[in-house]
Amino acid sequence: MTGIIVGAYRSGKVVKRCALATPIVSYGYLTMGVATAINLTYNAFLPSVVPWVILLIMLYAV
C-alpha cells in the first residue's frame, strides 16, 4: 500500500515537469473511452465468453 501511495506521489511530481503531460492524459482518457465503448458493444450483442470479456477489460489498463 505504501508503495502505491509513494509511486503516485512521485509520478505526480515528475508529470508536473513534463510539457507533454496534458496530451498524454488526454490520450489515456481517450483509450479508456474507446475500451468502454468496445466492451459495452461487445456485451450488448454477443454472448459473454470468459476470455474475451477479460481481454476487453485489460484495455482499461493501457
> Grid cell 505526480 — which residue?
12
The count of structural domains within the chain is 1
**Average pLDDT, integer, range 5-27:** 76
Question: Greatest CA span in the chain, whole angstroms?
Answer: 46
Q: Above 80 in pLDDT, residue 37?
A: yes
24 in any annotated domain: yes
13 in any annotated domain: no
Q: What angle do CA 33, 38, 42 make, to 5 degrees?
A: 150
What's the predicted TM-score (pTM) here?
0.56
Contact in structure between 39 and 56 (CB atoms under 8 Å): yes
Confidence bin at 61 (pLDDT 50/70/90)? low
9 in any annotated domain: no
2 in any annotated domain: no
Quick one: pLDDT at residue 13? Answer: 77
* Residue ranges making up the domain that contains 52: 20-62
Average pLDDT, the chain: 79
58 in any annotated domain: yes
Contacts of 53 (CB under 8 A, 6+ apart): 39, 42, 43
42 in any annotated domain: yes
